[in-house]
């Protein structure tokens, strides 16, 4: 395999084979190329069987790209058997083979956020009588945090000794018992149960240690305690663990990522080889100098500095605006000027902000100037209500013990089985210690139910049993289409929609579930309903907004997105806005972790390829009132000679080349208008 297109450090990383390797890959240093070349080196040069190679990352998109690039490099046949997946998909694979050794059935369900929240509420209603309002999402976060730290219910110690911490300690064991009773797991269980399986079953651990002889992990700085322990177990017998990451881009501490995993790697894995990738292929010298100067103020980091073989590039503009509206106007005017000067596409421009609430002014200004834009984020496809309703039918058809989804579909579409009737059914289920589905099948014997309700339940049971058989025998997408037709779901959606346009969008979303199922059938040799639901469940665990992110970024439109969402992306022209104290760094993070806020700013700066503009406002509205703002302390940490400071009312001068380009573009536009 040719290595001539790699630099010296990249070649050293590719050729390293045995023992632990810590690859510190700075922003824009070509880490994906290094990982794929390293896999190719193992497969082609060293003739390592593909079945012994495993690469793990955090998103399905990253896993797909890594696998595709490797296949393009060495051929699909040579990659057959290699595992390239997310942590959750890897653990799903392991549990599907051996979860029965922990007392679960192999056809377990995976509960998404909506199912988890509903289960938490049910448990809380049993613990607390009256009208006390419980924030189920907060309790779920505390339980998730415990699982990511590998704390089982009996060892759970909440971070905060407050009302919700104490409530979570009560709910967690009941929640876990309920999941087990429903033969279900949540996403945090996928990793926690896999770790438990490997710890408690030496034969299973040995099997996977022998199967995966060479492990590679991308974005290692984002791993939590559970993921760290999983990797330790899998690599313990051979220590062939290569981790790739950048401590300076660790920005997910709020969701459990442990920076210590990468900082302490050499201590935790004796004999580690350390290689730094510091040559940057993305940004200009000025941009890298600003990023290096900023991040040097962090204490918890590995020593490294990005550099480029290219020139310094244009100076970094730092603009002080009057207020938030003026900030948006300045950004839009700069975009228009740059497009005239360099004939750029709209998609070459990105506006990055600390909080999503900052997008409003930019959206309004872009709309006013008729400039196309995309806002990255928003509700994900599989989280939309109408989609969740369809999936609830499919999940219950696949797993009759899934009572959460049974209750969701029992009266949807409305069939006359209201909350009072559902309460009678649940009480009978509890009193007789029988699954709710069995109670439904014998509902004609429950005298508290009216004749119409009993008839509706009989029809519902017949429908479920008929389609359970159909899904085992027929084509998935055709069967699902018939199910939706029998339910008259489209008519129900239009009937309950606020207006026809919303009804159309929701009906289209339901149709898209069928499209997704048909695409799954085309890809899989032996498609099944459980397999389709597994794919959907794993898709539901990527970074926020990922379902629309990829398609939106392909459009020729200005990109608006949060700094967290921008990680891993790059743009020719970047506007980093709201560089003010209380915004960046954010007021809620200053006390807890100012260094993570600085890393977040560093990530924003290193997204820029050619130009970087930093903006802050002298005043900004809060609850409708203008308040004086203080520039971010991060601006003072960037050397003054790198910044071209501009007030918003100061015209930005153009150099001679820009003047000539703008004039050429202007006259070309006039000629085109005359021709039209």
Of 98, 188, 219, 597, which one is the catalytic site residue?
219
Of 32, 113, 272, 652, which one is the catalytic site residue?
32
Distance between CA atoms of residues 99 and 95, nearest Å = 5
CB neighbour list of residue 186: distance below 8 Å, 6 or more residues apart: 110, 111, 116, 144, 147, 179
The answer on whether 25 is annotated among ligand-binding residues is: yes
Of 10, 223, 227, 249, which one is the catalytic site residue?
249
Distance between CA atoms of residues 637 and 594, nearest Å = 13
The answer on whether 30 is annotated among ligand-binding residues is: yes
In the three-class reduction of DSSP (H, G, I as helix; E, B as strand; rest coil), residue 371 is classed as: coil
The answer on whether 28 is annotated among ligand-binding residues is: yes
Distance between CA atoms of residues 528 and 297, nearest Å = 53
Of 9, 10, 31, 282, which one is the catalytic site residue?
31
The answer to whether 249 is a known catalytic residue is yes
The answer on whether 285 is annotated among ligand-binding residues is: no
Distance between CA atoms of residues 86 and 98, nearest Å = 19
Distance between CA atoms of residues 420 and 405, nearest Å = 18
Contact 244, 217 (CB under 8 A): yes
Burial class (CB in 10 A: 0-12, 13-18, 19+), 232: middle
Q: How far is CA 359 from the centre of its chain?
A: 20
The answer on whether 551 is annotated among ligand-binding residues is: no
CB neighbour list of residue 501: distance below 8 Å, 6 or more residues apart: none
Tokens of 512: 């898209």
Of 98, 186, 218, 326, which one is the catalytic site residue?
218
The answer on whether 27 is annotated among ligand-binding residues is: yes
Distance between CA atoms of residues 564 and 250, nearest Å = 10
The answer on whether 256 is annotated among ligand-binding residues is: no
DSSP for 86-154, please give it. Answer: EHHHHHHHHHHHHGGGGT--TT-EEE-HHHHHHHHHHHHHHHS-SS----HHHHHHHHHHHHHTT--GG
The answer on whether 29 is annotated among ligand-binding residues is: yes
Tokens of 92: 């799903």
Distance between CA atoms of residues 375 and 381, nearest Å = 15
Of 282, 395, 541, 607, which one is the catalytic site residue?
607
N-terminal to C-terminal alpha carbon distance within the chain: 54
The answer to whether 33 is a known catalytic residue is no
Contact 551, 328 (CB under 8 A): no
Dihedral sign for Cα atoms in the order 23, 27, 33, 36: positive
Distance between CA atoms of residues 313 and 342, nearest Å = 15
Distance between CA atoms of residues 522 and 225, nearest Å = 38
The answer to whether 32 is a known catalytic residue is yes
The answer to whether 219 is a known catalytic residue is yes
- Which residues are known binding-site members for ATP? 25-32
- Which residues are known binding-site members? 25-32
The residues that are catalytic are 31-32, 218-219, 249, 607
């Amino acid at each position: 395999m040719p290595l001539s297109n790699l630099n010296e450090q990249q070649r050293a990383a590719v050729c390293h084979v045995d023992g632990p390797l810590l690859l510190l890959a700075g922003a824009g240093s070509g880490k994906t190329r290094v990982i794929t070349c390293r896999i190719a080196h193992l497969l082609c040069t060293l003739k390592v069987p593909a079945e012994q190679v495993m690469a793990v990352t955090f998103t399905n998109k990253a896993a797909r790209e890594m696998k595709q690039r490797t296949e393009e490099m060495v051929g699909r046949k040579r990659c057959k058997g290699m595992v390239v997946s997310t942590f959750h998909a890897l653990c799903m694979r392991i549990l599907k083979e051996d979860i029965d050794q922990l007392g679960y059935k192999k056809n377990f369900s995976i509960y998404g956020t909506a199912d988890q929240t509903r289960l938490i509420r049910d448990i809380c209603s049993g613990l607390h009588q009256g009208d006390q309002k419980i924030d189920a999402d907060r309790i779920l976060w505390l339980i998730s945090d415990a699982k990511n730290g590998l704390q089982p219910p009996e060892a759970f110690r909440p971070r905060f000794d407050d009302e919700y911490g104490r409530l979570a300690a009560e709910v967690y064991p009941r929640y876990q018992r309920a999941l087990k009773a429903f033969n279900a797991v949540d996403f945090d269980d996928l990793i926690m149960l896999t770790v438990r399986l490997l710890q408690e079953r030496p034969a299973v651990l040995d099997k996977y240690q022998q199967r995966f002889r060479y492990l590679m992990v991308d974005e290692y700085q984002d791993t939590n305690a559970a993921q760290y322990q999983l990797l330790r177990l899998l690599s313990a017998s051979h220590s062939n663990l290569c981790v790739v990451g950048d401590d300076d881009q660790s920005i997910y501490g709020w969701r459990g990522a442990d920076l210590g995993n990468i900082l302490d790697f050499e201590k935790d894995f004796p004999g580690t080889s350390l290689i730094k990738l510091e040559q940057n292929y993305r940004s200009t010298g000025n941009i890298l100098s600003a990023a290096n100067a900023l991040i040097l103020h962090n204490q918890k980091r590995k020593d490294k500095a990005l550099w480029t073989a290219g020139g310094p590039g244009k100076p970094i503009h730092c603009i002080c605006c009057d207020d938030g509206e003026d900030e948006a106007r300045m950004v839009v005017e700069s975009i228009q000027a740059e497009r005239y000067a360099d004939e750029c596409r709209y998609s070459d421009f990105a506006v990055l902000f600390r909080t999503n609430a900052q997008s409003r002014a930019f959206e309004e200004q872009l709309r006013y100037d008729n400039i196309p834009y995309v806002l990255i984020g928003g509700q994900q496809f599989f989280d939309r209500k109408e989609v969740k309703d369809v999936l609830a039918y499919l999940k219950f058809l696949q797993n009759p013990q899934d009572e959460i989804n049974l209750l969701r579909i029992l009266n949807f579409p409305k069939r006359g089985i209201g909350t009072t009737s559902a309460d009678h059914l649940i009480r009978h289920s509890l009193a007789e210690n029988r699954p709710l589905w069995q109670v439904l099948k014998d509902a004609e014997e429950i005298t508290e139910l009216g004749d119409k309700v009993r008839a509706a339940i009989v029809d519902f049971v017949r429908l479920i049993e008929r389609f359970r058989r159909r899904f085992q025998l027929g084509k998935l997408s055709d069967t699902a289409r018939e199910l939706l037709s029998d339910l008259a779901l489209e008519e129900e959606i239009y009937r309950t929609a606020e207006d026809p346009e919303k009804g159309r969008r929701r009906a289209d979303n339901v149709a898209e579930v069928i499209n997704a199922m048909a695409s799954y059938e085309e890809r899989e040799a032996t498609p099944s309903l459980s397999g389709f639901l597994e794919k959907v469940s794993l898709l539901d665990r990527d970074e926020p907004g990922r379902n629309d992110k990829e398609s939106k970024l392909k459009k020729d439109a200005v990109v608006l997105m949060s700094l967290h969402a921008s990680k891993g992306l790059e743009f020719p022209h970047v506007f980093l806005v709201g560089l003010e104290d209380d915004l960046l760094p954010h007021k809620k993070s200053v006390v807890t972790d100012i260094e993570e806020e600085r890393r977040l700013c560093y990530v924003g700066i290193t997204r820029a390829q050619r130009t970087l503009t930093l903006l802050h406002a002298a005043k900004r509205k809060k609850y409708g009132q203008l308040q004086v703002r203080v520039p971010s302390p991060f601006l003072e940490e960037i050397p003054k000679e790198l910044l071209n400071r501009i007030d918003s009312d100061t015209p930005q001068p153009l150099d001679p080349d820009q003047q000539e380009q703008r004039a050429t573009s202007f006259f070309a536009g006039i000629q085109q208008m005359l021709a039209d």
